[in-house]
């Protein structure tokens, strides 16, 4: 008999998620480029919705009805198929808890979002990792990992932290070759940034399938990360299951109000897309000109690779950049110890990063 409460088996074997750092000692001005947050901030209309929100003493609408209707209007969806949550992270965990248990397996790719592993382990399942090919999802590798115990497959498209994607034809091929009882979860957190003709976030596949879910977030292009707001669209039977286990008031009133305003502000979204297109290309070009490899990205971030030689490693680059107030994301936990993830920032931040990398590689450590 234990002298104190003990977590169930497996909980203490989970590696807790560690977010990107946001501070640097002794630096007056910080440019946080570690969490893929938008440099444009939220829509002014979303900010106004928060400022004018009242009745904090009342519980919010537990069904987030108006927000679901706004999302449905934006994408041409049935609002009854939409479930909202405190960020897509909560929804990913709820989905896993609903469909994975002890003895079950969940598949994700080699450099996939860390939350997938955590969610599978927290549900008592076994994480199964499918290798990637050149830092891209390999559909055949995923299919090769499917067994009778597989219950869920997570596909981040685009993927974080690599920034790579697979065309919609490949997503459909993956789905077509999965057993019908296996749930395919399409994590499209960065979908709004993608400007490729062969890309689709997955709405069509969800609408025509019984075993596909798509999750989205308001934390990235909409700039509402601090409010924790996300949504998913699913077949009715899956939405029903998630609604049975989610918290009764899991989305706050201010978040609902801000989300409605944000998704309706098309001008602000277009401005964010234009900014990202311009500076993603510029950063890629300028950093490659310094002799560093950059993985081609369709998101709002870049994966920058550093050589394995003293004075030029990713860890040393991170320390040097931090000393200048430029906070990037170490990605060793993703199996990428020789790379740093760089969020596309403001014009000022982007210029400072390139200048700092030039100094770092040139040995100017003053």
Q: Let me know if residue 366 belongs to a domain.
A: no
Of 216, 240, 264, which residue is a domain's last? 264
Answer yes or no: do 306 and 204 share one domain.
no
In 3D, which of 119, 118, 111 has the Cα closest to residue 137? 111
Q: Which helix (H) or strand (E) holds 151?
A: strand 150-156
In 3D, which of 8, 34, 50 has the Cα closest to residue 329? 34
Answer yes or no: do 227 and 248 share one domain.
yes
Q: Let me know if residue 322 belongs to a domain.
A: yes
Find how far residue 165's CA is from the centre of its chain: 13
Q: Let me know if residue 4 belongs to a domain.
A: no
Query: What pLDDT, on a 0 to 100 scale, did the predictor assign at position 5?
Result: 85
Answer yes or no: do 193 and 327 share one domain.
no
In angstroms, the Cα distances linking 342 to 12, 30, 189 are: 31, 14, 17
Tell me: the pLDDT tens digits for 162-205?
Answer: 999 999 999 999 999 999 999 999 999 999 999 999 999 999 99
Query: What pLDDT, on a 0 to 100 scale, did the predictor assign at position 24?
Result: 79
Find how far residue 302's CA is from the centre of its chain: 14
For the chain, the first-to-last Cα distance in angstroms comes to 59
Answer yes or no: do 173 and 90 share one domain.
yes
In 3D, which of 96, 60, 72, 79 has the Cα closest to residue 248? 60
Residues 6+ apart with CB under 8 A from 365: 320, 359
Instruction: Give me the CATH number covering residue 351.
Output: 3.90.1150.10
Answer yes or no: do 35 and 53 share one domain.
no
Helix (DSSP H) and strand (DSSP E) numbers for the chain: 12, 13
Q: How far apart are CA 75 and CA 202, in angstroms?
A: 12
User: Radius of gyration over alpha carbons of the chain, in Å?
Assistant: 21
pLDDT in single tens digits along all 366 residues of the chain = 788 988 888 888 888 888 877 777 778 899 999 999 999 999 999 999 999 999 999 999 999 999 999 999 999 999 999 999 999 999 999 999 999 999 999 999 999 999 999 999 999 999 999 999 999 999 999 999 999 999 999 999 999 999 999 999 999 999 999 999 999 999 999 999 999 999 999 999 999 999 999 999 999 999 999 999 999 999 999 999 999 999 999 999 999 999 999 999 999 999 999 999 999 999 999 999 999 999 999 999 999 999 998 889 999 999 999 999 999 999 999 999 999 999 999 999 999 999 999 999 997 654
Q: Let me know if residue 6 belongs to a domain.
A: no
Query: What pLDDT, on a 0 to 100 scale, did the predictor assign at position 44?
Result: 98
Instruction: Give me the CATH number covering residue 112.
Output: 3.40.640.10
Domain ranges, residue 81: 44-264
Answer yes or no: do 85 and 197 share one domain.
yes
- DSSP annotation string for 173-220: HHHHTS-TTSEEEEE-TTGGG---TT---SHHHHHT-SSEEEEEESSS
Answer yes or no: do 357 and 258 share one domain.
no
Query: What pLDDT, on a 0 to 100 scale, did the predictor assign at position 23?
Result: 76
Its pTM surpasses 0.85: yes
Share of the chain above pLDDT 70, in %: 99
Query: What pLDDT, on a 0 to 100 scale, did the predictor assign at position 364?
Result: 67
Of 225, 241, 264, which residue is a domain's last? 264
Please say whether the beta carbons of 303 and 295 come within 8 A: yes
Of 264, 288, 305, which residue is a domain's last? 264
Answer yes or no: do 324 and 201 share one domain.
no
Answer yes or no: do 165 and 214 share one domain.
yes
Query: What pLDDT, on a 0 to 100 scale, did the predictor assign at position 22?
Result: 73
Q: Let me know if residue 201 belongs to a domain.
A: yes
Q: How many domains does the chain have?
A: 2
Helix (H/G/I), strand (E/B), else coil: 123: coil
Answer yes or no: do 193 and 280 share one domain.
no
Q: Let me know if residue 5 belongs to a domain.
A: no
- DSSP annotation string for 53-97: ---TTSPP-TT-HHHHHHHHHHHT--GGGEEEESHHHHHHHHHHH
Answer yes or no: do 183 and 320 share one domain.
no
Q: Let me know if residue 1 belongs to a domain.
A: no
Please say whether the beta carbons of 71 and 262 come within 8 A: no
Peptide bond into 158 cis (omega under 30): yes
Q: Let me know if residue 125 belongs to a domain.
A: yes
Answer yes or no: do 21 and 86 share one domain.
no
């Amino acid at each position: 008999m234990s002298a104190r409460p003990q977590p169930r088996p497996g909980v203490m074997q989970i590696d807790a998620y560690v977010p990107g750092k946001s501070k640097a000692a002794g630096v007056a001005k910080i440019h946080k480029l570690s969490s893929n947050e938008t440099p444009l901030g939220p829509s002014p209309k979303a900010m106004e919705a928060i400022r004018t929100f009242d009745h904090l003493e009342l519980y919010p609408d537990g069904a987030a009805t108006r927000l679901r209707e706004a999302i449905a209007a934006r994408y041409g969806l049935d609002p009854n198929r939409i479930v909202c949550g405190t960020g897509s992270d909560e929804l990913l965990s709820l989905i896993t808890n609903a469909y994975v248990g002890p003895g079950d397996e969940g598949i994700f790719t080699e450099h996939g979002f860390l939350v997938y592993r955590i969610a599978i382990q927290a549900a008592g399942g076994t994480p199964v990792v499918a290798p990637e090919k050149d830092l891209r999802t390999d559909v055949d590798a995923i299919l090769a990992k499917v067994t009778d115990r597989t219950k869920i497959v997570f596909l981040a498209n685009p993927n974080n932290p690599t920034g790579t994607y697979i065309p919609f034809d490949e997503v459909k091929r993956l789905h077509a070759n999965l057993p019908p009882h296996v749930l395919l979860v399409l994590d499209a957190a960065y979908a709004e940034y993608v400007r490729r003709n062969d890309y689709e976030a997955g709405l069509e596949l969800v609408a025509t399938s019984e075993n596909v879910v798509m999750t989205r977030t308001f934390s990235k292009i909409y700039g509402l990360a601090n409010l924790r707001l996300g949504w998913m669209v699913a077949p009715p039977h899956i939405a029903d299951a998630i609604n049975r286990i989610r918290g009764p008031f899991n989305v706050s009133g201010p978040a609902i109000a801000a989300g409605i305003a944000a998704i309706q502000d098309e001008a602000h979204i277009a401005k964010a897309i234009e900014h990202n297109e311009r500076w993603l290309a510029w950063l890629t070009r300028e950093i490659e000109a310094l002799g560093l490899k950059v993985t081609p990205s369709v998101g709002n971030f870049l994966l920058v690779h550093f050589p394995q030689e003293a004075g030029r490693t990713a860890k040393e680059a991170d320390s040097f950049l931090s000393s200048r107030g430029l906070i990037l994301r170490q990605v060793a936990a993703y199996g990428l110890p020789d790379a740093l993830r760089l969020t596309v920032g403001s014009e000022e931040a982007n210029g400072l990063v390139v200048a700092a990398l030039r100094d770092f590689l040139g040995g100017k450590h003053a």
